[in-house]
Amino acid sequence: MKQVITRFPPSPTGFLHVGNARTAVFNWLYARHMQGKFVLRIEDTDRQRSTQKAIDVIFESLEWLGIDWDEGPFYQTQRLDIYNEYLEKLIQSGHAYYCTCTPEEIEAMRKKAMASGGKPRYDGTCRDKDLAKTENAVVRFKAPQVGTTVVEDVIKGNIVFQNDELDDFVLVRGDGIPTYNFAVVIDDITMNVNTVIRGDDHVMNTPKQMLIYKAVSSPLPVFGHVPMVLGKDRTRFSKRHGAVSVTAYRDMGYLPDAMLNYLVRLGWSHGDQEFFSRDELINVFDIEHIGRSAGVFDPEKLLALNADHIQATPTVELFKPLSPFLIKHGINIEEGPDAQSVIETLKPRSKTLKDMAEQAIFYYADDITYEEQAAQKFLKPAALEPMRVLTDQLEVLGEFTEKNLEDAFKATMEQTGLKLGKIAQPVRVALTGKTASPGIFEIISIIGKDRVISRLKKAICFIEGLDG
Ligand code: GLU
């Protein structure tokens, strides 16, 4: 069997939309699953709208998602000679011709066609004139006027197009720049792409592309058109629904594996399994199970999946992605409690890395700020005695262990006649500033003796200050 070669050809005109990223993911996974190749091509022929910044964002987004490519990046603007070569062949073989109709004339044709109830189209004025190349002349494809073109779509099934619906579409514009339909075909042919999975917003283009393949006698690739990603209101997923760029999710603290997992599940299924590791996806991904109905992007589902991925990721692997979020809070994990232990306590409680970094602040902070309500409720005169007793107990302990911390709390309970909760809650506020945190013994042992005692003393002063 021939080696599978897939591709991702984004147009660099803005950020990388999650819908487009999903197309990249499908093609990449399929190539990896089939031990084939994945080609990256930048479709930058729209010179007005293409920017270097958008190209950089594409690389950044793919790298973050862990999508690597075997060939490319190719740039269409650097391949004009190749398109010209094929164009010459098409003109020579009578499949394409120069057209000198002016934009005004074309506009008039379109209006006329619409006035008589048809689709706006080119009327074929230059089709049989055999015109020579002149300045600003465009090249049109001589499309068949009868018969049908059938797209054998591996996702949607056969889609039949009437050829008389197609007009003689433009291959190369007056400025020498190829149109999308022409460049994409020549690229896919010359890059040996044999599997094209893309958004179904392109399905109308596919018959035109098939005609070009036929005209240059090249075998067709396998086509599969995936339904668009929708928002909850079932319109195309856009800013109105939430963040749409891949990098926005990176910046919000999502894990690339979670994003990958979510994007795949938006249009593909494997029984009712929701959680997949990257390797598992490479193992089981196939085209057959890409669905025909549109996936609805649900930010809450993604968030829950991200939490599951955080939980499943080995702690050491979280250091690197977490670190930019910690840095934002001025946290240097070299200075302070053991990061491994810190992350372990936060993993089950974090939905995003951003969330995890926020929760980590108290471990590293030199100075704890109390949440107002937490302080009001728990840092009250009634807490003075248990906090003082506990501080005395802790001061005489050697290294903190779960066992001796438990003993210290027990002794405090005995001396004060209070239940654990009455002691633990004010202590928690003293140590974290908040009423919720990982287990009290855990955080005490991670924060370490010196910091714990100094925080308890500070809280005692705080309460005494209230008194005074
Ligand atoms: N540049 C096109 C796009 O981004 C590529 C479409 C295709 O995959 O053929 O929509």
Buried-exposed string 419-452: b where 16+ CB fall within 10 A, e elsewhere: eeebbbbbbbbbbbbbeebbebbbbbbbbeeebb
pLDDT for position 280 = 98
Residues 116-136, mean pLDDT to the nearest whole number = 93
C-alpha–C-alpha distance, residues 332 and 336, integer Å: 8
Residue 184 in contact with ligand 1 by CB distance below 6 A = yes
Of 1.10.3210.10, 1.10.10.350, 3.40.47.10, 1.10.10.60, the CATH number of 315-467 is 1.10.10.350
Largest CA distance in the chain: 106
Of 3.30.70.3270, 3.10.20.30, 2.10.70.10, 3.40.50.620, the CATH number of 79-226 is 3.40.50.620
Would you say residue 140 has pLDDT above 60?
yes
Return the C-alpha torsion angle 348, 350, 356, 362, nearest 10.
-70
Residues 205-232, mean pLDDT to the nearest whole number = 97
Short-list 55, 42, 62, CA closest to 180: 42
C-alpha 35 to ligand 1 mean position (Å): 23
C-alpha 83 to ligand 1 mean position (Å): 17
- 397-448 pLDDT per residue, tens: 988 988 899 999 999 999 999 999 999 999 999 999 999 999 999 999 999 9
Would you say residue 468 has pLDDT above 50?
no
**Two domains, one topology: 5-76+228-308 and 79-226:** yes
Kindly list the catalytic residues: 239
Residues 353-382, mean pLDDT to the nearest whole number = 96
DSSP string, 274-297: ----HHHHHHH--STTB-SSPPBP
- 149-165 pLDDT per residue, tens: 999 999 999 999 999 98
- 163-203 pLDDT per residue, tens: 998 999 999 999 999 999 999 999 999 999 999 999 999 99
Percentage of the chain lying above the pLDDT 70 cut: 99
Q: Confirm whether pTM is higher than 0.85.
A: yes
Of 3.40.720.10, 3.90.600.10, 3.10.250.10, 3.40.50.620, the CATH number of 5-76+228-308 is 3.40.50.620
- Domain positions in the chain are 5-76+228-308, 79-226, 315-467
Residue 221 in contact with ligand 1 by CB distance below 6 A = no
C-alpha 11 to ligand 1 mean position (Å): 7
Looking at the CA of residue 7, tell me the nearest atom of ligand 1. Answer: 8
Averaged confidence pLDDT in the chain: 96
